[in-house]
């Protein structure tokens, strides 16, 4: 019988790897986890956690104006970028240490360094080699820049939290959720923000009403947009004063020029596979991602992969769920698989958006004219005294005579918090009558979902 150093060796101490390693160890497995960066992964170090803190920070600039209608006189303050940056990094380091302590408590050995395959059962971390009966790959993804002239001057989301100086003029290239969120953040912190996108609207893949209402709200807040640009025409040059000039052609082919202090390239992410030497283990790659089965197993029966490196649904809670399901199946002997449908998601844009289930476009493609859409748009009560042009949009998509709920979408204040609770209706296969039979909580925005006509 072959003897191994570990029952399980996990490559990557992000959300998924941490969840899997701790649960496997709880079942009695001897586990090691390798990480060459801070412990916590993209979400904790340079993703959803520090980004949400920046979202909170950007909201404070609205307080003096919004509070006036409620009788408050709050003078406009001054913003200290260095203070925010350092406060966020302090919190990141606190979480890093917390995750390390969790590993220690569950007897998971943390090995510092980037791991790569030597063969199907052996990995190397620096000049050391380790063998394992099973190996779990949980290396996540990395921001990818487009191959265009001058992109070396652009930053990615990875650098956004460490900028030495606050950019008074800020541009985002890309219309996805990361770019959209940072456009709102930087605008709220005081920068003149511009978003440059290929499509007419941001957030491709989301429900059309979500896309249009978020973009409309951002424009009303003062964020500038260049839409329908010819991406192949885009170039970035560095000026003598260290500012940057972005040149591109708009939808009509007219040349445009924009001078900024910083450019964020937010055109997508890709699995972080290059350092792994996957060929040494014979692991199959499809479309630049690790190919896995329903149980997260690769083509090698003892090697598994979870999270963004598989490019299934690239969300932190999904990676955690996949990691725990792997451990339950392999070490807890309770086979279970994660459903990748009806997963709620949020965009912490300004205005905020959240969604669960099918978009109207997806629903009609599947069910045709059996689909019925309920929709409302209103001014939230908060703004009746605060002023401003903010609007909330809510949308309910149902199918058939029983009006089974296929999708729920919202743009507006507290959208993520509301959709998280409402997602239960979609997950359980609920119908509109279930919403109708639910007593409204008044006065709230959420009550609109149970009173729609």
Binding-site residue positions for NAD(+): 174-181, 268
Place of tokens 């009695």: 28
442 an active-site residue? yes
- Percentages of the chain per state (helix, strand, coil), in multiples of 5: 35, 25, 40
Binding-site residues for FAD: 52, 308
Beta bridge partners of residue 110, listed in sequence order: 33
Binding-site residues: 52, 174-181, 268, 308
Q: Is the dihedral of CA 200, 205, 207, 211 positive or negative?
A: negative
- Sorted by sequence, the CB contacts under 8 Å of residue 425 that are 6+ apart come out as 405, 408, 434, 435
With CA atoms as reference, report the closest residue to 215 among 190, 189, 179, 246: 179
- Sorted by sequence, the CB contacts under 8 Å of residue 389 that are 6+ apart come out as 217, 220
Catalytic hit among 99, 121, 302, 442: 442
With CA atoms as reference, report the closest residue to 345 among 337, 333, 353, 334: 353
In order of 178, 321, 340, the CA distances from 309 in angstroms are 18, 15, 15
In order of 46, 227, 283, 353, 421, the CA distances from 137 in angstroms are 20, 38, 11, 32, 32
Give the tokens for residue 67.
Answer: 């509070």
Q: Chain-centre distance of CA 199, in angstroms?
A: 20
CB 355 within 8 A of CB 408: yes
Question: Strand, coil or helix: what is 294?
Answer: coil
Give the tokens for residue 119.
Answer: 């063969």
Q: Which residues are catalytic?
A: 442
């Amino acid at each position: 019988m072959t003897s191994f150093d570990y029952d399980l060796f996990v490559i990557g101490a992000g959300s998924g790897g941490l969840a899997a390693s701790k649960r496997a160890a709880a079942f009695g497995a001897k586990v090691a986890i390798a990480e060459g960066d801070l412990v916590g992964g993209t979400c904790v170090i340079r993703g959803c956690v520090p980004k949400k803190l920046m979202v909170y920070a950007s909201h404070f600039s609205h307080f003096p104006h919004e509070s006036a209608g409620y009788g408050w006189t709050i003078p406009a303050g001054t913003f200290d970028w260095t203070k925010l940056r350092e406060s966020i990094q302090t919190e990141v380091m606190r979480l890093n240490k917390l995750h390390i302590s969790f590993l220690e408590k569950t007897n998971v050995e943390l090995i510092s360094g980037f791991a790569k395959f030597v063969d199907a059962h052996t990995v190397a971390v620096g000049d050391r080699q380790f063998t394992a009966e099973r190996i779990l790959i949980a290396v996540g993804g990395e921001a990818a820049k487009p191959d265009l002239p001058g992109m070396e001057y652009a930053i990615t989301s990875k650098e956004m939290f460490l900028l030495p100086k606050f950019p008074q003029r800020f541009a985002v290239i890309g219309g996805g959720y990361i770019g959209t969120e940072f456009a709102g953040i930087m605008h709220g912190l005081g920068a003149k923000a511009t978003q440059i996108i290929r499509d007419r609207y941001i957030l491709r893949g989301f429900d059309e009403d979500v896309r249009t209402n978020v973009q409309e709200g951002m424009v009303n807040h003062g964020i500038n947009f260049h839409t329908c640009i010819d991406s192949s025409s885009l170039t970035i040059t560095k000026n003598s004063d260290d500012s940057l000039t972005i040149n591109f052609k708009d939808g009509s082919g007219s040349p445009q020029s924009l001078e900024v202090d910083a450019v964020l390239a937010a055109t997508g992410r890709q699995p972080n596979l290059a350092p792994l030497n996957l060929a040494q283990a014979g692991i199959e790659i499809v479309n630049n991602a690790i190919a896995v089965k329903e149980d997260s197993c690769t083509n090698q029966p003892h090697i598994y992969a979870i999270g963004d490196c598989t490019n299934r649904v690239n969300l932190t809670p999904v990676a955690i769920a996949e990691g725990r399901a792997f451990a339950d199946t392999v070490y807890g002997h309770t086979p279970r698989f994660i459903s990748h449908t009806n997963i709620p998601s949020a965009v912490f844009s300004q205005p905020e958006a959240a969604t669960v289930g099918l978009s109207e476009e997806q629903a009609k493609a599947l069910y045709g004219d059996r689909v019925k859409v309920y929709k409302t748009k209103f001014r939230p009560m908060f703004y009746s005294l605060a002023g401003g042009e903010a609007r909330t949009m809510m949308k309910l998509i149902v199918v058939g005579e029983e009006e089974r709920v296929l999708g729920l979408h919202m743009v507006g204040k507290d959208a993520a918090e509301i959709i998280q609770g409402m997602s239960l209706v979609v997950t359980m296969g609920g119908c509109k009558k279930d919403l109708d039979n639910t007593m409204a909580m008044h006065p709230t925005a959420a009550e609109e979902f149970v009173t729609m006509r």
